[in-house]
């Protein structure tokens, strides 16, 4: 009897699992969810790069933008900063993030890694790994594999306990093990192959019930799917005919480095790449990043990765849609989804329609979808397809969900563009209504050189990361020199120089307490040699070299062994040379202010004042939260290099003194292959001036801001700025596809129904705003882009009035691009409508 009951309970439990759980498998065409092949659009959002209060909004905007899946890495060093001590609180609350994605009805791709690269400190590895005896990371090495397995299992079990795998009814449909190991594995010799096989079977043995992928791993063993990363992945073929073609990283821009100009990637090129991928058989594509966000604290990798991880992603650093990128990709996703039935039904048949023009058709007896591509980097084309004529701009793809009507062309943007600016907010203080964060500062001077009882002496120069274990960015190398006047380096005509060779990343040299100069590596080449001209006095001279790391290496074979700091030689040179390298040095890890916890504002050491241009200074002030709810940042103009804390939380390293090169920012065309340095802006300017201050970190009054400045600045110059909309624009031609909303598919006939003409549509981003003015309007042949439109030879005289009437006072307005609306200004010419408007609060 008891046995029978138990059996019934077991059967019931089994049925419940089967009913709520979703079966995720794959075949050669696609990821298969509950027996159905799916065309999936995914986007990366890394949970610690925003604040938990932002997550829901980011996920909603992703859904609205047409994503099915949110992808995130899991960041090992964030969750296990100390071995066996886990942390999943606040921004580290992975379970909460995954559940929010589920609540929105989206899927999750969980890239456990646990090596992640990601421009994240040490590629996501906790630094303590490095100190485990006998360990070699990312290869067939027992100590490493034991740690990797422990952490991977920890995460998988955590997800299982919360029932977050699709097999349990949760949102996770895919997981990733390792990351791009194939790119560097040849450096690890034969052990690499056995490591890959081990990683694959370790992952599969964890029994998640959903498929695992390895990216850039062409030898990924079954059942792991090998996937592609890159700016383009059309033509990628997985290593088995049973695996689908998947693109795990489509880089929507590129990361910014301190000292570099700001990279961007035109949406015409991204949408071209995506459309080409689905055209050529792909069924899963992920934007890396869909929202890049901010590298708070010391989370940046590098070295030299900036605090902003904006990435030119469809959602900007602060979470707002970047237009027209977000909107144009949303249109693309709808177009692809209109093709889903045909895409999953069959393989494409591709034919050439002429030089550099090809058509791919997905056709069965009941459905047909086609992609027409012009891969020429210069010449537009007109082609015949299925008895109709189609215009294809250079480097563009048209999507025809019924093999007849073009609903989308990657180079023809229907969605609106916006111009956003960060505008100074006035802060009321007792003295004035100024734009500065504060005029009321206190400060503490950080001692130059050794100040701690924990300092230690050692003969010779030490490597920095092995010494600090990344507990601080800072390591003092100090030595005293007694000058009697007969030293060899004082002889001869030449000036005395101090020659320093360092593995990087930054060095500040102090002689007798004064900052003499700095040396800075550059992204890609953090090491440097520098000759500092110096003057020594008779008697004792104190040489204090402050060596800094700016984010630890995150990429490359054996990246974890890349050293930093002054490994020498250090020489004094004049007439002849004295090598100081093997002498006795005194070392101090970290700063006194760090040991005292000055970042959170405590301590009785603060004195009133804000001395300018003073190296090694801590500054503190209090402030009220700037009003409103628009994204908030601090403009650090006036400061040099350092770190900033708001109410004790680090908003990251700041470095407005590091200026991008003056050249390399010329006009860039979306046509032709993209690369990280093709499209750059901000040449000759600080790489990063604005630093995100999450609103959720603020109270209404009495917030504490602390800065640590290394080279000298003026804190009274820094200001709060908020992100404001300057203009809304749209420029749509009569020749554009109809607006995406106009296309709907009749379920029974599968015919596309057309409901309108090409049109301009504008919408103020906030519900409490309305269009307040029309700055420009032209129907005819207007030129230029948002912010700098100009009239062409042909223009209707009524456009401005008509648009003012249609738009002002409303949040949204839609205007058909046709001579019926505006009258005919020039017969026989293809015309377009360009509008620039502004929004204001609806009062």
Active site positions, annotated: 180, 249
Regarding 269 and contact with ligand GAL (CB under 6 A), the answer is no
Regarding 312 and contact with ligand GAL (CB under 6 A), the answer is no
DSSP β-ladder status, 584-589 and 607-608: unpaired
Handedness of CA 165, 167, 171, 177 (dihedral sign): positive
Are 611 and 450 in contact by the 8 Å Cβ rule? The answer is: no
**Which residue in the set 232, 255, 278, 408 belongs to the binding site for ligand GAL (CB under 6 A)?**
255
CB of 226 to ligand GAL, least distance (A): 14
Instruction: Please give the residues from 130 up to 189 whose contact with ligand GAL meets the rule CB under 6 A.
Output: 179-180
Angstrom distances, CA of residue 837 to CA of 495, 738, 760, 786: 62, 22, 12, 10
Span of 22-30, 117-125, 410-418, 598-606 interacting with ligand GAL by CB under 6 A: 117-125
CB of 273 to ligand GAL, least distance (A): 15
Regarding 117 and contact with ligand GAL (CB under 6 A), the answer is yes
CB of 289 to ligand GAL, least distance (A): 8
Helix ranges (DSSP H) in 540-620? 592-595
**Residue placing its CB nearer to ligand GAL in the complex, 179 or 414:** 179
Are 530 and 267 in contact by the 8 Å Cβ rule? The answer is: no
Task: Name residues whose C-beta falls within 8 Å of residue 805's C-beta, 6 or more positions apart in sequence.
Answer: none
Span of 58-66, 114-122, 465-473, 745-753 interacting with ligand GAL by CB under 6 A: 114-122
CB of 50 to ligand GAL, least distance (A): 17
Span of 13-21, 111-119, 496-504, 577-585 interacting with ligand GAL by CB under 6 A: 111-119
Span of 113-121, 385-393, 709-717, 803-811 interacting with ligand GAL by CB under 6 A: 113-121
Are 34 and 75 in contact by the 8 Å Cβ rule? The answer is: no
What's the rounded Cα separation, in Å, for the pair 522 and 653? Answer: 16
Handedness of CA 467, 468, 474, 478 (dihedral sign): negative
Regarding 299 and contact with ligand GAL (CB under 6 A), the answer is no
Count of CB atoms situated within 10 Å of the CB of 750: 14
Helix (H, G, I), strand (E, B) or coil at 104: coil
**Residue placing its CB nearer to ligand GAL in the complex, 270 or 693:** 270
β strands within 102-171, DSSP E? 107-113
**Residue placing its CB nearer to ligand GAL in the complex, 250 or 374:** 250
**Residue placing its CB nearer to ligand GAL in the complex, 75 or 371:** 75
CB of 249 to ligand GAL, least distance (A): 6
Regarding 341 and contact with ligand GAL (CB under 6 A), the answer is no
CA nearest neighbour of 840 among 782, 747, 764, 786 = 764
Regarding 317 and contact with ligand GAL (CB under 6 A), the answer is no
CB of 116 to ligand GAL, least distance (A): 6
What's the rounded Cα separation, in Å, for the pair 7 and 13? Answer: 10
Span of 101-109, 115-123, 337-345, 450-458 interacting with ligand GAL by CB under 6 A: 115-123
CB of 118 to ligand GAL, least distance (A): 4
DSSP state of 218: T
**Residue placing its CB nearer to ligand GAL in the complex, 117 or 721:** 117
Burial pattern 413-422, b for ≥16 Cβ within 10 A else e, equals bbbbbbebeb
**Residue placing its CB nearer to ligand GAL in the complex, 325 or 695:** 325
CB of 204 to ligand GAL, least distance (A): 21
Q: How many residues bind ligand GAL (CB under 6 A)?
A: 9
**Residue placing its CB nearer to ligand GAL in the complex, 217 or 719:** 217
Regarding 78 and contact with ligand GAL (CB under 6 A), the answer is no
Q: Angle at the Cα of 666 (from 663 to 667), degrees rounded to 5?
A: 170
**Which residue in the set 217, 229, 464, 553 belongs to the binding site for ligand GAL (CB under 6 A)?**
229
β strands within 580-718, DSSP E? 584-589, 607-608, 617-623, 632-635, 642-646, 649-654, 680-681, 690-692, 703-709
CB of 299 to ligand GAL, least distance (A): 13
CA nearest neighbour of 547 among 533, 568, 561, 562 = 568
**Residue placing its CB nearer to ligand GAL in the complex, 257 or 410:** 257
CB of 528 to ligand GAL, least distance (A): 24
CA nearest neighbour of 91 among 286, 322, 303, 299 = 299
Are 150 and 158 in contact by the 8 Å Cβ rule? The answer is: no
Task: Name residues whose C-beta falls within 8 Å of residue 751's C-beta, 6 or more positions apart in sequence.
Answer: 402, 745
Regarding 118 and contact with ligand GAL (CB under 6 A), the answer is yes
Torsion on CA atoms 219, 225, 228, 233, rounded to nearest 10? 120
Count of CB atoms situated within 10 Å of the CB of 789: 20
CA nearest neighbour of 279 among 354, 353, 347 = 347
Beta bridge partners of 623: 703
Span of 110-118, 140-148, 320-328, 350-358 interacting with ligand GAL by CB under 6 A: 110-118
Regarding 560 and contact with ligand GAL (CB under 6 A), the answer is no
CB of 71 to ligand GAL, least distance (A): 11
Residue least distant from ligand GAL (Cβ) = 117
**Residue placing its CB nearer to ligand GAL in the complex, 249 or 268:** 249
**Which residue in the set 68, 71, 80, 119 belongs to the binding site for ligand GAL (CB under 6 A)?**
119
**Residue placing its CB nearer to ligand GAL in the complex, 113 or 266:** 113
Regarding 195 and contact with ligand GAL (CB under 6 A), the answer is no
Regarding 761 and contact with ligand GAL (CB under 6 A), the answer is no
Regarding 249 and contact with ligand GAL (CB under 6 A), the answer is yes
For residue 269, the surrounding DSSP H or E stretch is helix 267-279
Query: Which residues in this chain contact ligand GAL in the complex, by CB under 6 A?
Result: 116-119, 179-180, 229, 249, 255
């Amino acid at each position: 009897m008891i046995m029978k009951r138990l059996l019934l309970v077991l059967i019931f439990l089994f049925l419940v699992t089967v009913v709520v759980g979703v079966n995720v498998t794959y075949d050669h065409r696609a990821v298969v969810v509950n027996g159905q092949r799916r065309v999936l659009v995914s986007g990366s959002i890394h949970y610690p790069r925003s604040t938990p209060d932002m997550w829901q909004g980011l996920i909603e905007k992703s859904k609205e933008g047409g994503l099915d899946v949110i992808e995130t890495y899991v960041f090992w060093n964030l969750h296990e900063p100390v071995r066996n001590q886990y942390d999943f609180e606040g921004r580290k609350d992975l379970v909460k993030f995954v559940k929010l994605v589920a609540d929105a009805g989206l899927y999750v791709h969980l890239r456990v890694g646990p090596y992640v690269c990601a421009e994240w400190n040490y590629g996501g590895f906790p630094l303590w790994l490095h100190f485990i005896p006998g360990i070699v990371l990312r290869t067939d090495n027992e100590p490493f594999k034991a740690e990797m397995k422990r952490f991977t299992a920890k995460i998988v079990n955590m997800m299982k306990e919360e029932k977050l795998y699709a097999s349990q009814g949760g949102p996770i449909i895919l997981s990733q093990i390792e990351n791009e190991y194939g790119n560097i594995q040849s450096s690890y010799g034969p052990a690499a192959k056995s490591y890959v096989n081990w990683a694959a079977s370790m992952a599969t043995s964890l029994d998640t019930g959903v498929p695992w992928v390895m990216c850039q791993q062409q030898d990924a063993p079954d059942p792991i799917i090998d996937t592609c990363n890159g700016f383009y992945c059309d033509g990628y073929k997985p290593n088995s005919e049973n695996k689908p073609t998947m693109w795990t990283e489509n880089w929507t821009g590129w990361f910014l480095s301190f000292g570099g100009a700001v990279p961007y990637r035109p949406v015409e090129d991204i949408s071209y790449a995506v459309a080409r991928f689905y055209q050529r058989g792909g069924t899963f594509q992920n934007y890396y990043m869909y929202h890049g966000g901010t590298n708070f604290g010391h989370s940046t990798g590098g070295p030299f990765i900036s605090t902003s991880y904006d990435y030119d992603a469809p959602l900007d650093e602060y979470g707002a849609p970047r237009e027209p990128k977000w909107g144009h990709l949303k249109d693309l996703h709808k177009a692809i989804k209109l093709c889903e039935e045909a895409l999953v039904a069959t393989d494409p048949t591709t034919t050439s329609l002429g030089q550099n023009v090809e058509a791919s058709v997905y056709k069965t007896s009941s459905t047909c979808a086609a992609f027409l591509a012009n891969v020429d980097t210069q010449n537009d084309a007109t082609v015949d397809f299925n008895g109709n004529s189609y215009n294809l701009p250079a480097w563009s793809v048209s999507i025809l969900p019924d093999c007849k009507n073009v609903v989308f062309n990657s180079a023809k943007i229907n969605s609106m563009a916006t111009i956003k600016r960060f505008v100074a907010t006035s802060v009321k203080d007792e003295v004035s209504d100024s734009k500065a964060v504060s005029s009321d500062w206190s400060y503490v001077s950080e001692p130059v050189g050794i100040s701690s009882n924990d300092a230690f002496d050692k003969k010779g120069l030490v490597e920095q990361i092995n010494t600090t274990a990344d507990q601080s960015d800072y390591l003092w190398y100090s030595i005293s020199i007694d000058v009697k006047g007969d030293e060899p380096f004082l002889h001869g005509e030449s000036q005395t120089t101090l020659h320093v060779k360092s593995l990087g990343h930054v060095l500040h040299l102090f002689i007798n307490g004064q900052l003499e100069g700095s040396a800075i590596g550059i992204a890609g080449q953090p090491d440097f040699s520098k000759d500092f001209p110096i003057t020594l006095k008779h008697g004792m001279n104190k040489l204090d070299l402050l060596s800094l790391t700016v984010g630890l290496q995150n990429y490359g074979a054996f990246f974890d062994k890349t050293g930093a700091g002054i490994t020498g030689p250090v020489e004094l040179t004049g007439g002849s040379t004295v090598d100081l390298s093997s002498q006795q040095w005194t070392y101090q890890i970290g700063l006194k202010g760090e040991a005292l916890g000055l970042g959170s504002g405590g301590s009785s050491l603060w004195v009133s004042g804000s001395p300018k241009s003073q190296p090694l200074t801590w500054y503190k002030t209090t402030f009220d939260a700037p009003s409103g709810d628009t994204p908030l940042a601090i403009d650090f103009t006036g400061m040099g290099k350092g770190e900033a804390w708001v109410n004790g939380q680090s908003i990251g390293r700041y470095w407005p003194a590091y200026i991008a090169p003056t050249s390399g920012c010329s006009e860039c065309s979306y046509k032709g292959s993209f690369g990280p340095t093709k499209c750059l802006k901000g040449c000759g300017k600080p790489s990063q001036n604005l630093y995100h201050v999450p609103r959720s970190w603020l109270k209404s009054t009495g917030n504490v801001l602390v800065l640590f400045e290394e080279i000298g600045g003026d804190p009274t110059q820094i200001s709060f700025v908020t992100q404001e909309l300057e203009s809304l624009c749209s420029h749509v031609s009569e020749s554009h596809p109809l607006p995406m909303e106009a296309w709907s598919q009749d379920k029974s006939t599968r015919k596309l129904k057309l409901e309108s003409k090409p049109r301009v549509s504008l919408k103020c981003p906030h519900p409490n705003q309305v269009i307040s003015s029309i700055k420009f309007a032209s129907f005819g042949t207007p030129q230029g882009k948002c912010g700098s439109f100009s009239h062409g030879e042909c223009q209707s005289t009524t456009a401005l009035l008509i648009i003012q009437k249609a738009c002002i006072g409303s949040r949204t307005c839609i205007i058909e691009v046709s001579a019926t609306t505006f009258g005919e200004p020039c017969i026989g010419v293809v015309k377009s409508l360009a509008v620039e408007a502004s929004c204001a609060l609806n009062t």
